[in-house]
Each structure stands twice: as C-alpha cells, then as structure tokens.
Chain A
C-alpha cells in the first residue's frame, strides 16, 4: 500500500475528469447519479464508469494513487457476446457523509475470457476473484490461489451456474427429494 499521490479530495465530477484526462477515449461511458434521502435531504453520489479491457490494470493503479479504495465485491453479468465484470469500490470513507461509491465495469469477450488480477494492489480481492472464476468460467491471470471456493469438488467441469447460455445451469444438479437423502 503506497501513499496516495493526489493530496486533496476530488468531487465526483472531478474523479471522472481525473480518469478521462489520463485515459481519454478508452473510457467508454460515465454517469454520476445523485441520491437524496431523509428529512434533511443529505446527498450521496454513485459513479458508474465503463472502461476498455486493455487499460484495466492501469486504471486500478491510477485509482490506488488517488486514494486507497475499499473493494466491496465484483459482480458479473452475462451479456450475450461478452461477460461484464463490475468492480464496486468505495472511496473517502473515514469522515462523516463523505463517501463516494465508484463502480468500474469491464467487458470481457467470451472468445478470450481472461483478465488480470488486482490482488497485488488490494489483497482482499482474493475471495471474490476466486468466486468469479468458478461461477462464470473467467480465467484470472496471476491469482495467488486458484482453487474452487464455493462449489463442491465433485461439481462437473465446464458448467458455470451464472451463465445464461448453454454452459449455464437449467435445473438443479441434484434434487434432495429425488436422491432420497
């Protein structure tokens, strides 16, 4: 964990500009959503950014230079031709009403299902990367530990439960009332 290089805190639009200045057209789209809740109508922001796969590792390094993030989870979507991975980060925790949620989504084509690991920058990502490997069939390059996490050892190879195509699961592998357990 190195010390962050950017000293002052950025606004949500400032964060989007920070990434766009560095990576220009490789940032495909961005969206800043404001939410208001409660009687005093305090606001908080969610930022959604979509990036190209080639700059993925550099974006994460750039983010860690700005401020050390908290990785909540990685979620995966099966769009027909590719798989979209969304990394949910939260930044600037520690001061009251100061946190901004940042969601970075990457499209990985099904023809070449690989992506780099972020465990060297954020060690806590190990559990969630292992889960994506077994649930979606995506290969994570450089992961320190690539064993199965949630599925049992006798699960058949090549079946990925979260996919919606033929590699997915149509019905349960084993129904307890049929197996008479």
Chain B
C-alpha cells in the first residue's frame, strides 16, 4: 500500500479499431482512460475509402446508379434515390406521380429492414442473443417480400432516373398486405421486449447522453438527433416524392416517454416508433396510389442524350434509416459523365457526436454506445491495451465478453 503513494497516476491510451464488432464502419478510436472511465476520445477515419466519387466522374449516369447502390449494403436504396433526385433536379426531369408513390413504398420497406437489423445487433452487444434471433426471424419475412417485389434481397436495382424500373401490380398487393399484418401483430411483442425488459433498461438508461445543444451544433442527423429532441427529418421538412400527401410527423421520444433525455434508451424508442410509422405509411400509400407511367422516359438513349445536352447543378436529399443523405451533381453540357459528384452519407455527420457521448463512460459501454448511433458497415475487431510498456491484445471475443459480463454484474 505504501508504494502506491509515491507513484504518480497517469492515464492509459487505448486504440480501438480500425475494425471492431460494434462499429459497422472501420473507424479508429483512441481512448484516454483513467481506470475504467473514458477521459478523452480521438477519431480517425479513412480505412474503407474506395474512391467511389472519382470512379463515378468517369461513368454515365445509368452506370453510376449501380455504383451508388454499392456504397453501402444496408442502405442500398437511399443512394440511388438521392442520386436520381439530384440528376432530376439538375436536368429538370419530371417524375410521374405513380413513381413517387412506388419510391416511397420501397424506401419505407428498407427502413423497416434496417431498423430491425439494428435492433438485433444492439441486443447482441448487450449479450441478449435470444432477442437477436427473434428480431431477425421477423426481418426474414420482410426480406422475402423485398425479394418478391424486386428480384433480390439487398441490392434492389429498382431505381431509374425519372422513375422506377418495376411496377407493383394487383397480384403483388395481397402479399404486401399479408406481411404488414404479420408485422403489426408481432410489433407488440417486440415493443414489450425492448422497452420493458429490465436487462435493456439497466444497460441503456442514462448511458451515452447527447444534449440538445451538442446535437444542434455538431449537425447530427437521423434518429441520433431526434432522440435528443431536435426535430429534423427530411421527409417532414420538405415535401418530396409522395411524402407531401401522406400523414407523417417527427418521431421524438416524448411521444412515448413524456420527456427527452438523449441516451441510448431514447434511441431505441425512436427507432421502434419509426418502424410503426413505416408500416402505416406503406398502408397509406397502397390506398392512395394513382395509376399512370412508372418512368418519365422509357427509352434510355434519349434520356442519355438529354442529360448530355443539359448543363446545370442539383442536389438530392433523402431520409435514410440513419439520417439525411445528400448528393450533389454538376453537369457541364458537353459530356454524359458528370463534372462533379459529391456524396455525403449520414454516418459522416454522426461521427463527431461520438466524442461527447463517450466521455465519462466505462470501457464496457463502448460497444452499445457506438452501436446506438447505427454506423453503417460491419467489421471485425482488435483492441490493443498498453499497460506499462507491455502490449496485450484484446480480441473481438474478449471485448464482447466484457460487455456481457457487465450485464451479468448489474443483474445481481
């Protein structure tokens, strides 16, 4: 005991990343920790930079649609949608009304799939694997519906500049209604497990708090910022596609809880409320959808010739499951390929909020707090802990085990 009084106390530096279980995008964190508490955080990026924008500036707009689809696997509808809206904005192409409704239906289906995937992953980070399997079983039905409507479970290839590629006929409608009824019946089961089970409450309440001022100043987007009380949602703010005709509102936690704290529990609430909202929006669309064309220019060479002649710039925004996605496109009137193409995915804006959220938390909370903002791509992990000059490596299994052990400790 007496030796410890003479030594000076200093903080450790832990690097986490670039590949990690809870983070779905390879990100490199460096934590400065004091015992088990985090004192400071530093974030570095760039590990999966694939030069997509540079590649896109050498291809014509139809090829870029498929390149944009593969920017991210789980948000594979939002990038072609934003890109197509940016091109339509720049070249003054008008989209028929039926295509607007079809785009909304596919976008909301993808939102349901993405939020259920996230819910399962959040349960896995806490250590609650049975919930993971139940949630993903429900998600399988929605993926079956997607395969029936578009031909593939994930990379849908349904977007075209000026409309969509496939129609929803009267034969498809019964299967859509059957899946929606199945989801509505089982939604109550999910809500009870996530919001009332004691395990979730003790791990997620008052953990990873993002205040209202921080969320506004750091320009956070999506459910991360709505859970802190900021009312920001592109679907409600701007009446684009068919959202202007539908009954839609901001989903903030005070609808269910009465107050807004901005912790991980609030983010779970916001995402579950959005799943319910998406089911209602799809049903509203199926009732109101008008008849007509599904694409404004069916002949592709004419479309490409029109784009080649027009000079202009445009932006296209869409509300992805993770936040706002914006694409900027500029055409110079001489070539088919764009002069500039800039993509900003929603996780880009949600990186800086990690820093105020993680300060003051414990190491075992890192997976659940980082996963609660739903970063966008899955990876493995290796954590290096430097203690007095000896390096030990904590692998993915050990970090996950730390998180599970904390749950067991709190349950006693």
Listed in ascending order, the chain A residues whose CB lies under 8 Å from chain B are 1, 35, 37-44, 46, 48, 68, 70-73, 75-78, 86, 88, 90, 93-99, 101, 103, 122-128, 147-152, 161-162, 169, 172
How many B residues have CB within 8 A of the partner chain?
Answer: 49
Give Cα distance in the complex from A93 to B340, angstroms: 27
- CB contact list, B280-332 vs A, under 8 A: 288, 290, 313, 315, 317, 324, 326, 328, 330
Residue B244 interfacial (CB < 8 Å): yes
Determine which of A93, A124, A126, A147 lies in contact with B232 in the assembled complex, contact meaning CB atoms within 8 Å.
A93
* Cross-chain contact of A97 among B89, B218, B238 (Cβ < 8 A): B238
Contact of A72 among B231, B238, B317 (CB under 8 A): B317
> Which chain B residues border A1 with CB–CB below 8 Å?
213, 216-217
A to B CB contacts below 8 Å, 11 in the list: A39-B288, A44-B238, A68-B216, A72-B326, A76-B340, A86-B328, A93-B232, A95-B231, A96-B237, A97-B244, A124-B219
Least distance between B400 CB and chain A CB atoms (Å): 28
How many angstroms from the CA of A75 to the CA of B351 in the assembled complex? 19
Is the beta-carbon distance between A73 and B239 smaller than 8 angstroms? no
Residue B64 is within 8 A (CB to CB) of chain A in the complex: no
At the interface, yes or no: B95 with Cβ under 8 Å from chain A? yes
- Inside 8 A of A161's CB, which chain B residues have their CB? 51, 54
Contact present for A162 and B326 (CB under 8 Å): no
Tell me whether A37 and B352 are in contact in the complex, defined as CB-CB below 8 angstroms, given that A70-B232, A73-B342, A93-B231 are known contacts. Answer: no
Known: A39-B100, A77-B339. 16 other contacts (CB 8 A): A37-B239, A42-B239, A42-B245, A46-B315, A70-B232, A73-B344, A90-B237, A94-B230, A94-B237, A96-B236, A101-B238, A128-B344, A148-B46, A149-B45, A161-B51, A169-B54
Complex formed: what's the CA distance from A169 to B230 in Å?
Answer: 41
Q: Closest 8 A-B residue pairs measured CB to CB?
A: A124-B219, A42-B239, A42-B244, A99-B237, A75-B342, A73-B344, A124-B218, A150-B46
Q: How long is the Cα–Cα vector from A28 to B289 in the complex, in angstroms? A: 44
Structural contact, A94 and B232, CB atoms closer than 8 A: yes
Chain A residue at smallest Cβ distance from B230: A94
CA distance A148 to B28 in the complex (A): 13
Among residues of A, the one whose C-beta sits closest to the C-beta of B344 is A73
- Binary interface encoding of chain B residues 158-176 relative to chain A, with 1 for a CB under 8 A from any of its CBs, else 0: 0000000000000000000
Tell me the bound Cα distance from A152 to B50 in angstroms.
Answer: 12
CA distance A73 to B344 in the complex (A): 7
Q: How far is the CA of A163 from the CA of B348 in the complex (A)?
A: 22
CB of B243 closer than 8 Å to a CB of A = yes
A29 to chain B, nearest CB (A): 13
B81 within 8 A of A: no
Complex CA–CA separation, A169 to B317 (angstroms): 29
Closest A residue by C-beta to B95: A37
What B residues does A88 contact at CB under 8 A?
315, 326, 328
Question: Across the interface, which residues of A come within 8 angstroms of B240, CB to CB?
Answer: 35, 37-38, 44
Check if B340 sits within 8 Å of A75, measured CB to CB: yes
Q: Which residues of A contact B340 (CB under 8 A)?
A: 75-78, 162
Note all chain A residues with C-beta closer than 8 A to B245: 38-40, 42
Report the minimal beta-carbon distance from A124 to chain B, rounded to whole angstroms. 3
- Cα distance A88–B234 in the bound complex, in angstroms: 14
Which B134-193 residues sit within 8 Å CB-CB of chain A? Answer: none
User: Is B30 an interface residue when CB atoms closer than 8 A count as contact?
Assistant: no
Nearest CB on B from A98, distance (A): 6
Q: For A152, list chain B residues within 8 Å (CB).
A: 46
Residues 212-271 of B at the A interface (beta carbon under 8 Å): 213, 216-220, 230-232, 234, 236-245, 249
Q: Does B97 contact A (CB under 8 A)?
A: yes
Residue contact A127 to B351, C-beta cutoff 8 Å: yes
